[in-house]
Structure 1
Amino acid sequence: MRQLVSSGAPWEPIVGYSRAVRVGNVVEVAGTTAQDGAIITGLDAYNQAKRVLEKIGLALREAGADFEHVVRTRIYLTDITSWEAVGRAHGEVFGSIRPASTMLEVKALIDPRLLVEIEATAIIPE
């Protein structure tokens, strides 16, 4: 069974993606940013990361998972020097869960105001 989780963003049907997809006990959460419509939540990488993780949590719960089920995150930064701030936000959520994680710098995200994008993979115990 395939469960699609939508954020309701207008570009989901245009691009052809879902905020998250659950197949069996695996949940994949798409790259998530701090963009909420025309608004970007947070002017700095830490606050954007906090909003991103909040949105990931909502998607996980809608798919029947939670942060404790996350086994992997991928973090994309437009400025690698913000790694500590984003790492701190990530650690506030995943400090005791400690999923495998990758953090790397990218040239740009979809909107120049965006500083961080995060993906997550969760496996729900059977």
Structure 2
Amino acid sequence: MEHKIILPEGWQKPKGYSNGIIATNGRTLFLAGQVGWNEKEIFESDKLVPQFEQALKNIIAIVEAAGGKPEHICRMTCFCKDKEQYLKARKDIGTIWKSIMGNHYPCMSMIFVSDLLDHPAVIEIEATAVIPE
């Protein structure tokens, strides 16, 4: 099964995400928001970049536990507490993204929030994947 990226005619190709994806013939996996703690629910850093990396690794661990791969992720929503810190870290975040996700860019939203439940989380990522039958 291959997901089909949707880009309306005449639209500029987005950088770092897709506007739409069609996914067929698979099992839908809904992932709860993942923060930047390890498998023992311990934060090893209170900084955005290492938390982003760990949260993304947590997403992939769940997808793989369900029999999927990173490219089966169709949708991601990131909730971040610090817009300024995020904008400063975009290059580092992009490097981490490439090392974990390669050139796969699901439909994504970035939402800036005042707080997250699990202290000292600064980013939380939720996702939806469609895994082939």
Match of 1:125 among 102, 109, 132: 132
* Cross-structure match for 2:65: 62
Deviation track 1:68-93 (CA, whole Å, cap 9, x = no partner) reads 10111100001112322545533443
In the TM superposition, structure 1's runs of 4+ consecutive aligned residues that sit over 6 Å from their partners are none
Matches within 5 A, 1:1-126: 25-36=27-38, 37=40, 39-83=42-86, 84=90, 85-126=92-133
The Cα of 1:123 is off from its aligned counterpart by: 1.0
The Cα of 1:38 is off from its aligned counterpart by: 5.8
Q: 8 Å contact 1:41–1:51 — kept in the other structure? A: no
Between 80-89 and 25-34, the greater mean CA deviation after superposition:
80-89
Larger radius of gyration, structure 1 or 2?
2
Counterpart amino acid of 2:43? Answer: I
TM-score normalised by the chain length of structure 1:
0.71
Q: 8 Å contact 2:68–2:132 — kept in the other structure? A: no
3-state SS in 2 of match to 1:103 = strand
Unaligned runs of 5+ in 2: 1-25
Q: 8 Å contact 1:45–1:86 — kept in the other structure? A: no
TM-score normalised by the chain length of structure 2:
0.67
Unaligned runs of 5+ in 1: 1-23
Higher relative contact order (CA 8 A, sep 6+): 2
Q: Percent identity?
A: 28
Counterpart amino acid of 1:28? Answer: F
**Cα RMSD (Å):** 2.0
Partners of 2:78 and 2:120 in 1: CA distance: 16
Between 92-101 and 114-123, the greater mean CA deviation after superposition:
92-101
Partners of 1:57 and 1:95 in 2: CA distance: 12
**How many pairs does the alignment contain?**
103
3-state SS in 2 of match to 1:97 = coil
